Amino acid sequence: MFSSLCCRFMLFCGLLGYFGAPAAAQSRYEGRELIQRVQDDLQRVRAQGARSQKELERVDNARKHLSDVDRNLAKGKFDKDRVNEAIDDVKNVVENNTLEPADRDALSTDLADLRIFRERRGH
């Protein structure tokens, strides 16, 4: 009886590890992919030339906080506070910078996706 129970427990743990680990790795990968997409969108905005030093600072702050989030994700860590900072910074760019309509749309989509990512990871 004991050995049968022990074998079932070991099988359960093995299956959990086999199926659970890829899900965590996939989530981390998807998060890093999202961060890269937002970084690319912000870099495009920056490359088009900001109208003022303040606009550049807003973009750079968002990129820095996104980089911090990515660094943590690469280590397998999720820091909801850092994600919140990044979301606030991207929102600040969308609300206050002079943007092309396509860039505003892309960053607005990025914001929505970052919020979904935060909710899924931050439970």
User: Which pair of structure tokens corresponds to residue 72?
Assistant: 């943590």
Which pLDDT does position 1 carry in this prediction?
Answer: 56
Rg over alpha carbons for the chain, rounded to the nearest Å, is 20
User: Which pair of structure tokens corresponds to residue 82?
Assistant: 């850092």
Single pTM value for the model: 0.77
Give the tens place of pLDDT for each residue, 96-119.
999 999 999 999 999 999 999 999
Which pLDDT does position 109 carry in this prediction?
Answer: 98
Torsion sign across C-alpha atoms 109, 115, 118, 123: negative
Q: Give me the residues of the chain with pLDDT under 70, please.
A: 1-29, 50, 123
Which pLDDT does position 4 carry in this prediction?
Answer: 55
